[in-house]
Amino acid sequence: MRKNFILLVIGVVGLAVLLYLVSPLSRSDEENNQSQQVEALQETLVEENFEAPEAESTIIPAASPVSLSNSGSSDNSVISPAVMKIFAQKLRDMGACLETQNNVPGDELDPQLQTLIDSVRGEWGESVISTEDWMQIEMETPEGEKRRLRVEMDFDTDTQVQRKLKFMTVEKDGQTTPISVPEDQAIEPSDSLIASLEAGNKIMTKEKFERIYFQNGEEIVARQKDGFLTEIEVNKGPKSFRCTKVNEESANCQCIQ
């Protein structure tokens, strides 16, 4: 099911790119054409139940909130040589598990998503599509108030998939109170809006959950915190390689066949 879904998405994206390259349309017409292709892709994702891969492979539910008890200044995120060495070995273990000739260019590697993608690029090729299920920022105002900014994929509508921003205060007991954001700005929020909501506050943590797809159906599912991987799932055919606590010395991985 996953492979058929991904190949369908790749086909839609490829058609959009081809039309863009050969069309003699004016700039305005090109933009309209691209918009129509994006809408077609979104409809395809909904029709194919875009949440289905999440049920099969997601390590953490996409809507799972992050506890403030794990918060700490992102400036203090430091990956030790021991963790880097463990991650390099886990990449080798992944290659053996998935029977993939992945590249591990050293004994100490930063546990970052790009490092993982570079590792499989030689055999899998370039990624063809990526999605961000959610991103979340924990922050503190100069007055000491805790706030959370979250952008996640919204599957509530029957016709399209949208990114929706949620902004809130967070009490000591974990209870949240929404902070009003104009609805027209909360849907598909711009980078400038997100930056304005961050401005003047101390950033405690930044997390996000992404999916990366490759041309033959391979998939990387990754959760990151402050720029480093925390959990991953790498799928190739019927085999999966899953790891938790990737950014710690207690990293734990499983090969599932």
> Do residue 35 and residue 144 come from a single domain?
no
> Do residue 82 and residue 138 come from a single domain?
yes
> Do residue 42 and residue 125 come from a single domain?
no
Task: Render pLDDT for 42-51 as a digit per residue (tens, 0 to 9).
Answer: 444 434 333 3
pLDDT (0 to 100) of residue 154: 84
Q: What integer is the mean pLDDT of 165-171?
A: 97
Task: Confirm whether pTM is higher than 0.75.
Answer: no
> Do residue 35 and residue 88 come from a single domain?
no
How large a percentage of the chain has pLDDT more than 90? Answer: 65
pLDDT (0 to 100) of residue 196: 96
Q: Assess contact for 132 and 62: CB atoms under 8 A.
A: no
> Do residue 40 and residue 68 come from a single domain?
no
> Do residue 27 and residue 75 come from a single domain?
no
Domain assignment present for residue 120? The answer is yes
Give residue 188's domain range. Answer: 64-256
Q: Assess contact for 222 and 209: CB atoms under 8 A.
A: yes
> Do residue 108 and residue 160 come from a single domain?
yes
Residue 12 CA: distances (Å) to CA of 17, 18, 195, 213: 9, 10, 32, 14
> Do residue 140 and residue 188 come from a single domain?
yes
Domain assignment present for residue 59? The answer is no
Tally of domains within the chain: 2
User: Is 75 strand, coil or helix?
Assistant: helix
d(CA 187, CA 124): 34
Domain assignment present for residue 57? The answer is no
Q: Assess contact for 8 and 44: CB atoms under 8 A.
A: yes
Closest CA to 231 of 223, 221, 239: 223
Domain assignment present for residue 157? The answer is yes
Domain assignment present for residue 69? The answer is yes
> Do residue 84 and residue 42 come from a single domain?
no
Average pLDDT of the chain is 79
Domain assignment present for residue 55? The answer is no
Task: Render pLDDT for 197-207 as a digit per residue (tens, 0 to 9).
Answer: 999 999 999 99
> Do residue 124 and residue 244 come from a single domain?
yes
Residue 55, pLDDT > 90, answer no
Higher pLDDT, 214 or 160: 214
Domain assignment present for residue 196? The answer is yes
Residue 37, pLDDT > 70, answer no
> Measured on CA atoms in the order 126, 128, 133, 134, is the torsion positive or negative?
positive
Q: What integer is the mean pLDDT of 66-73?
A: 35
Domain assignment present for residue 56? The answer is no
Tokens of 136: 């979340």
> Do residue 75 and residue 148 come from a single domain?
yes
Task: Render pLDDT for 175-190 as a digit per residue (tens, 0 to 9).
Answer: 999 999 999 999 999 9
pLDDT (0 to 100) of residue 242: 98
> Do residue 88 and residue 169 come from a single domain?
yes
Q: What integer is the mean pLDDT of 15-38?
A: 42
Which range in 19-23, 62-66, 122-126 is most confidently predicted, on average pLDDT? 122-126
Task: Render pLDDT for 99-138 as a digit per residue (tens, 0 to 9).
Answer: 999 999 999 999 999 999 999 999 999 999 999 999 999 9
